Amino acid sequence: MKPLANDTFLRALRREPTPYTPIWLMRQAGRYLPEYKATRSRAGSFMALCTSPELACEVTLQPLERFPLDAAILFSDILTIPDAMGLGLRFTEGEGPRFERPLRDEADIAKLAAPDPGGELRYVTDAVRTIRRALDGRVPLIGFSGSPWTLACYMVEGGGSSDFRQIKTMLYRRPDLLERILAVNAEAVAAYLNAQVEAGAQAIMIFDSWGGVLADGAFQRFSLAYTRRVLEALRTQAGDGVPTIVFTKGGGLWLEQIADTGCDAVGIDWTVDPGQARARIGARCAIQGNLDPMALMAEPEQVGAEARRVLDRFGAPGEGSGHVFNLGHGISQFTPPENVSALVEAVHRYSRELRSRA
């Protein structure tokens, strides 16, 4: 493998000095790009796209062809693990993902087991290897998984939810059952992420997309504790030394506790004041975020102004400031691609300017 031509992202995660603030975007390979829609259409279905290493590689690289982004992220779905557990993932038009066999029954929960990443999930590590080869050292490749709690939400609800009634009923009524699911999920996520690292992932991100729906107290017990288990398993196995990012959407009240898990970077959404986040987290972790994805609906010059505002609020980018620019959530399918150009350019240009002033 070639050495990395651009390691700005990895250096920022390690809080080492960087000449500018690196940027990548959650869901950067996605429906806002016409070329993504073309590949998706050729694949026939979303899962066909995910399970083909060649097509997954193709869409992973598409945003890098358009924009000088500082990292690539494996194109895959957040629900590959529960699918491999046998819950029967289906994507229905306009409705999002659904599981045919959601986990409600005590006997089903007792039988739940972590899938072998070398078995049914082999297409994911194959994709990682294919993408690493295709990247040829341009930028680092991020591997990822949903957090044990976030996976459990889909597994118990059977799909998206507005009130999380099924899983919260289990949480408040039968916490023992939920903890059994979470323990299996933590084991599965750890094995899955270690396998991604072995296949070539150079950083790992854990998406705790639904941590923010939990009550204080419940978050620590049912989400954070199991994310911590995953991180510990990474540190003692293949993932040792590979930087990790933990992002809890709606988790702004718990940043210190997230930082204490031993992750290298904490993702923040747009509700968080970046300066305050920096003050609360201190030098423990890098910070990733946090532009509102809807800011990309404005005119290109307004997008640039919003990007500069985020950079200003992160504070002086002295050595080790460790900021990775990102959105506070996945990019919207309605985003004009030219606004992504404006964003990446503004972040690169203005962050260089801030450093030259410092």
Binding interface with a second copy (CB under 8 A) = 163-165, 168-169, 171-173, 212, 214-219, 250, 252-253, 270-273, 276, 292-295, 297-299, 302, 306, 309, 313, 328, 332, 334
Residues 6+ apart with CB under 8 A from 172: none
Q: How far apart are CA 346 and CA 304, in angstroms?
A: 5
Q: What is the three-class DSSP state of 335?
A: coil
Closest CB to a second copy among residues 10, 218: 218
The least distance separating a second copy from the CB of residue 139, rounded to whole angstroms, comes to 27
The least distance separating a second copy from the CB of residue 315, rounded to whole angstroms, comes to 14
Burial (CB < 10 A; 0-12, 13-18, 19+), residue 241, is: exposed
**CA 339 to chain CA mean position, Å:** 22
Residue type, 201: A
Closest CB to a second copy among residues 217, 318: 217
Closest CB to a second copy among residues 201, 347: 347
The least distance separating a second copy from the CB of residue 250, rounded to whole angstroms, comes to 7
Task: Identify whether the C-beta of residue 158 lies closer than 8 Å to the C-beta of residue 96.
Answer: no
Q: Token pair of 74, please?
A: 């494996």
Q: Does the N-terminal peptide bond of residue 290 adopt cis geometry, omega within 30 degrees of 0?
A: yes
The least distance separating a second copy from the CB of residue 339, rounded to whole angstroms, comes to 10
Closest CB to a second copy among residues 6, 302: 302
The least distance separating a second copy from the CB of residue 29, rounded to whole angstroms, comes to 19
Residue type, 105: D
Q: Token pair of 238, please?
A: 């293949």
Closest CB to a second copy among residues 129, 313: 313
* Residue among 229, 234, 264, 232 at smallest CA distance from 246: 264
The least distance separating a second copy from the CB of residue 290, rounded to whole angstroms, comes to 8
Burial (CB < 10 A; 0-12, 13-18, 19+), residue 162, is: exposed
Torsion angle, alpha carbons of 135, 136, 139, 145, to 10 = 50
Closest CB to a second copy among residues 113, 215: 215
Q: Which stretches does DSSP call E strand in 216-340? A: 244-248, 265-267, 286-291, 323-327
Closest CB to a second copy among residues 115, 250: 250
Q: What is the DSSP letter of 17?
A: -
Q: Which residue is associated with the tokens 């854990």?
A: 206
What spatial distance separates the first Cα and last Cα of the chain, rounded to whole Å? Answer: 36
- Helix 337-357 and helix 53-66, axial crossing angle in degrees, nearest 10: 60
The least distance separating a second copy from the CB of residue 297, rounded to whole angstroms, comes to 4
Active site members = 27, 31, 40, 77, 154
Q: Token pair of 115, please?
A: 């899938």
